[in-house]
């Protein structure tokens, strides 16, 4: 298993080792001991989620506030997505910047999106199955979002706007500078 720090060092790309032969393949998709040794802190994933979507579906940018903030470990089981994590920690040197990584069934890459980041993805192939672990349960009262098309974020979603399919909720999210529901850089949200 290979762990790669991105341009925002807290967001980690995970490349599992794939063992394949004429019968197919085997891959460890999660190893808590290796990930926690790399990160230097413990994670307690308590829930797995899965969605199936058609090409053009954009989900995000979502996050939950403390005390129900979430770390997500995301991957694609079938198909292809562009996965995005946006730093929403005030006073962070990378505040408002994002990481965008293509996750596919073929490359088997995963992305660790820590607490303090908004997360979203756009589906690039029909019948894409997206799976993720979270370390905190869904909390409607702490659920928040940022506009996927906020020009300050400058995210290239790889599809034309008219190709995107969004929920009503995701079409009305505030821009980053229009919300005070953010995180503070340097605060340990894992205690």
Chain centroid, CA 144 distance in Å? 14
Inter-residue contact 91 to 187 (CB < 8 Å): no
- Where are the chain's structural domains? 2-33+43-184
Specify the DSSP element, H or E, that contains 75. Answer: strand 72-78
pLDDT of residue 190: 85
pLDDT of residue 106: 96
Q: What does DSSP say about strands 117-123 and 80-87: parallel, antiparallel, or unpaired? A: antiparallel
**CA dihedral sign, ordered 186, 190, 140, 164:** positive
Domain 2-33+43-184, classified CATH 2.60.120.10, yes or no: yes
Question: Which residues touch 133 (CB under 8 Å, ≥6 apart)?
Answer: 30, 45, 47, 48, 49, 72, 73
Identify the active-site residue in 62, 63, 98, 119: 62
Identify the active-site residue in 63, 98, 119, 132: 132
pLDDT digits (tens, 9 = 90+) for 24-63: 999 999 999 999 999 999 999 999 999 999 999 999 999 9
Q: pTM score, two decimals?
A: 0.95
Question: Which residues touch 152 (CB under 8 Å, ≥6 apart)?
Answer: 96, 175, 176, 177
What does the alpha-carbon distance between residue 129 and residue 127 come to, in Å, rounded to a whole number?
6
pLDDT of the chain along its 191 residues, tens only? 999 999 999 999 999 999 999 999 999 999 999 999 999 999 999 999 999 999 999 999 999 999 999 999 999 999 999 999 999 999 999 999 999 999 999 999 999 999 999 999 999 999 999 999 999 999 999 999 999 999 999 999 999 999 999 999 999 999 999 999 999 999 999 87
pLDDT of residue 82: 98
62 classed as catalytic = yes
What does the alpha-carbon distance between residue 18 and residue 140 come to, in Å, rounded to a whole number?
37
Question: Which residues touch 116 (CB under 8 Å, ≥6 apart)?
Answer: 10, 69, 87, 88, 89, 92, 183, 185, 189
pLDDT of residue 191: 72
Q: What is the DSSP letter of 162?
A: G
pLDDT of residue 55: 98
DSSP SS3 for 142: helix
């Amino acid at each position: 298993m290979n762990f790669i720090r991105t341009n925002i060092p807290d967001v980690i790309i995970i490349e599992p080792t794939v063992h394949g032969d004429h019968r197919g393949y085997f891959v460890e998709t999660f190893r808590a001991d290796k990930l926690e040794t790399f990160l230097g802190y413990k994670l307690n994933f308590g829930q797995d989620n899965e969605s199936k979507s058609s090409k053009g579906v954009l989900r995000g940018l979502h996050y939950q506030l403390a005390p129900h903030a979430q770390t997500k470990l995301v991957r694609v089981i079938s198909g292809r997505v562009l996965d995005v994590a946006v730093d929403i920690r005030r006073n962070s040197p990378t505040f408002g910047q994002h990481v965008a990584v293509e996750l596919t069934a073929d490359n088997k890459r995963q992305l660790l999106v820590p607490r303090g980041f908004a997360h979203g993805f756009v589906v690039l192939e029909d019948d894409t199955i997206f799976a993720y672990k979270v370390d905190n349960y869904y909390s409607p009262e702490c659920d928040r979002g940022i506009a996927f098309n906020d020009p300050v974020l400058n995210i290239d979603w790889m599809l034309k706007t008219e190709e995107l399919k969004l929920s009503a909720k995701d079409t009305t999210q505030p821009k980053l500078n229009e919300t005070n529901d953010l995180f503070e850089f340097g605060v340990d949200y894992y205690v």
